[in-house]
Structure 1
Amino acid sequence: MTTQTRRRYVCNLSEKSLEKARQELNEDPETRDQKIDELRAKFAKEKPEVKLPPDDAFLVRFLRNKKFDVQRAYNMLLHYYEVRRKYKEIFVNYQPSLYRHIFETDMLTICPGQDKDGRTVMLFRAGKWDPDRYNIDAIFTACSMIYEKLLEDEELQVNGLVFVDDVEGTSVKQMTQFGPAAAQKSMDLSVNTVPVRFKAVHYIRQPDIFTAMFAVIKPLMSEKLMKRIHFHGKDYGTLHDHVPSSMLPPDFGGQLTNYNSQEWFEELCKEDRKFEEHNQYGFPKAADVLGGVSQGVDPVGGLAGSFRKLET
C-alpha cells in the first residue's frame, strides 16, 4: 500500500450538534487537533505495525465515542482492528455490491430524517431473514458496512443511533445460527468496537422463541446498554413514546407509507472501491509478515482474552 498524505480534519457539525459535542463528549475545537495528534502518536509508539487511514476524520469518530479520552479511544480503535483480524470471514469480500441481495429484502431500513433528539433510526425485520439463502455472517457483514456508511455523517456520530427490531418471525433455523459464539461475534462487530453511540434498542412483536435467543446475548451486554433496551410486544403506543410514528412504516405501527431504503442502499453499493481501500488498514496480513506464506499463526498475536464490555 502506498503512503498517503495525511488529511486534516475539517468540522462539518451544525452549531447545535457542536454544542452537544462540547457538553456530552468533551469536544473542544481548540484542542481537537491536539487529541488527534496524540492518538496517532500513541499508535506510532505502541503499535507501529497498525496502519491508520490518512483521514483524521476517521480517528475523530473514536475520540467522540470515548469523550476525547485518548487512552480509551486508542483501546477501542485497537479492538476495532483486532476484530477485523479475528473475524476474517466477515471482511474477506468487503464490498457492498456483493450484499445487494440482502439489502433488497427490506430486512434492514434506514428511516428518513431524525427523531427529536437528532438520532437516526434503523429498523430490522427478523422475519425477512431466510437462513437457507444466506447465513448470519452475511448479515453481520452487511450491518458492518451500514455502520461504516452511517458514520460518515458527523451529526450521527454526536447524536447517535436508535434500533427498532421487529422480531416476529424469529425461527428455530435462525436460532441454530445464533449460539454463544455468534452472539459474541455480534457484540464484537457492533457495540464493542464500532464508534456509534447506540442510544436505544426497541424490540416489538417478540415471539416466545425470542426469549431464548435474547438469553444468549444478554450476559454479554453492559449494564449501561441493558438500560437502553425496551420491549414493547404489540403495543405500538409505547414504542411511539420513544420513536415518532411519522418516522416509522405501517408494519411498525407508523404513518410512513411508500418508503424503503433502496435509494440509500444503492448509493452504498456504489462504494466498493472505498470499502476495499478501507480494508487495507489495520494490522498487516499474516501472509505479508511471513513473506507471503501463511503458517496458520498470526505473528502479531491474537486477542488477549475476551472482549470487555466497552461503554457505548
Structure 2
Amino acid sequence: MTVRPVPPILAEKAKNELNEDPNRLKNDLQSLKDWIAKQPHLRARTDDQWLLAFLRGCKFSLERTKEKIDLYYSCRSAAPDFYRIKHTDPKFNEILELGVFLVLPNFKLDAASSYTPQVILIRPGAYDPDKYSITETVSLSHVIEKIVMMENDNAIITGTQIILDLDGATIGHLMQMTPSVIKKMVVTTQDALPFREKGTHYLNTPAGFETFFNAFKALISKKNQSRLHVHNKNYEEMYKYIPKDVLPAEYGGNGGTIKEIIDYWKKKVQEYSSWLEEDENYGTDESMRPGKPKTAENMFGIEGSFRQLQVD
C-alpha cells in the first residue's frame, strides 16, 4: 500500500469526519481494485493515493465510492467537451495564464489556515468569451483537480471553498451558461469529484446575476444551497469564512500574487506532464457496460421547469 502519511491534525479529522480507519484501509483499497478489475466497461486508475481520494470523498462507503468512480470516468465519455483541452494544448497555457481557475496554494504551510478548506478562485471575467468558451475553462479545471486529488490531502479531507469573482463578467459569459452546460458542470463537479464543497462565495456580481444564480441553485443539493454566500464587494464579510493567509494580495490577503499562483500551477502541471499524458488512457466503453449504457441524455437530461429557463 503506497499512500502518503498525513499530519496528525488531518489524520484525526479524517477519522472523525470521514470514518477513515488506517487498519481497514488496505482492505478497502484492495476491494476497489478487485471491483474495477471486474468491470468490463471501466478503465480506471488504481493508484492507492488516487483511490484514497475517492474513499475519503465518500466517507469510506465502498458502494458510494464505486458509484462515484464509475460516474467520474463515465463523464469523460459522455461530456468530452468538458475534457477536451489537454495540458499539452496551447490554449491550456493561454487560459492558465489568464488566472481563470486557480486552486490557491497555501504558501504559509505552518499557519493554522493550512488545515482549513482548500480555496479555489474562479474568475470568469478574466477570459474573453469571444475567444474562449466556458467548456474550455472547465477542461483546464479538470486537469488541475486531478493534480489536487493526487497530492493535496488537505483539499480532500477538509473540503473546498470556492470564490467566484464575477468582476468583468459580461452578457457574453452569461450566454455561454446554457441549461445543458450548467447541468454538465454540476454533474462533472458536485457529483463526480470527491471534493466536499464547504461553501461558494460570490464577489462583484453583475446585472443579470440572479438569473444564473437561481438556475444554478435549483440544480444543486439542499445542503450546498445553504452554503452559497453572495458578498458582492464586501470582502470583509468573506474574511469571516476564508483566512487572509490563503488569499492573493489582490483580494487583501497574504497568499502571494495572482501571477505567483499562476506560475506555481504552470510548474506543477509541467511536473505532472507524463502522468497527465498517461491519464488520458482511462475512461469507459459504454458498449461494454453490463446493463443500460450511460449516455449524455440520461446523465445530463434537463428536467422540469429548468428547461424553460431563458436569459433576458
TM-score between the two structures when normalised by the length of structure 1:
0.84
| 3-state SS, counterpart of residue 95 of structure 2 | helix
Matched, 1:24 2:17: yes
Aligned to 2:6: 13
Q: Which amino acid aligns with 2:170?
A: S
Aligned to 1:66, which of 45, 58, 65? 58
Would you say the 8 A contact 1:21–1:27 is kept in 2? yes
1:188 deviates by: 1.9
Render the CA deviation track for 1:61-120: whole Å, top value 9, x for unaligned: 111111110000001111001100101233345325530000111223333317364322
Would you say the 8 A contact 2:32–2:62 is kept in 1? yes
Unaligned runs of 5+ in 1: 1-7, 290-298
Aligned to 1:199: 198
Would you say the 8 A contact 1:96–1:268 is kept in 2? no
| 3-state SS, counterpart of residue 95 of structure 1 | coil
Change (3 A) 1:51 1:255: closer
Query: Equivalences for 1:195-274 in 2 at 5 Å?
Result: 195-256=194-255, 258-260=257-259, 261-270=261-270, 271-274=272-275
Change (3 A) 1:90 1:200: same
1:221 deviates by: 0.4
Would you say the 8 A contact 1:157–1:197 is kept in 2? yes
Question: How far apart in 2 are the matches of 1:83 and 1:233?
Answer: 33
Aligned to 2:141: 143
Question: How far apart in 2 are the matches of 1:49 and 1:234?
Answer: 48
Aligned to 2:67, which of 51, 57, 75? 75
User: Bigger shift: 33-42 or 75-84?
Assistant: 33-42
Aligned to 1:103: 96
Change (3 A) 1:264 1:285: farther
Q: Which has the higher helix share?
A: 2
Question: How far apart in 2 are the matches of 1:247 and 1:154?
Answer: 16
Would you say the 8 A contact 2:100–2:137 is kept in 1? no
Would you say the 8 A contact 2:182–2:216 is kept in 1? yes
Change (3 A) 1:235 1:192: same
Aligned to 1:36: 29
Would you say the 8 A contact 1:179–1:216 is kept in 2? no
Unaligned runs of 5+ in 2: 302-312
Render the CA deviation track for 1:36-80: whole Å, top value 9, x for unaligned: 1222233344x2331222412211111111111000000111100
Give me the CA root mean square deviation. 2.4
1:265 deviates by: 1.9
Change (3 A) 1:93 1:135: closer
Question: How far apart in 1 are the matches of 2:275 and 2:185?
Answer: 24
Q: Which amino acid aligns with 2:277?
A: E
Matched, 1:88 2:87: no
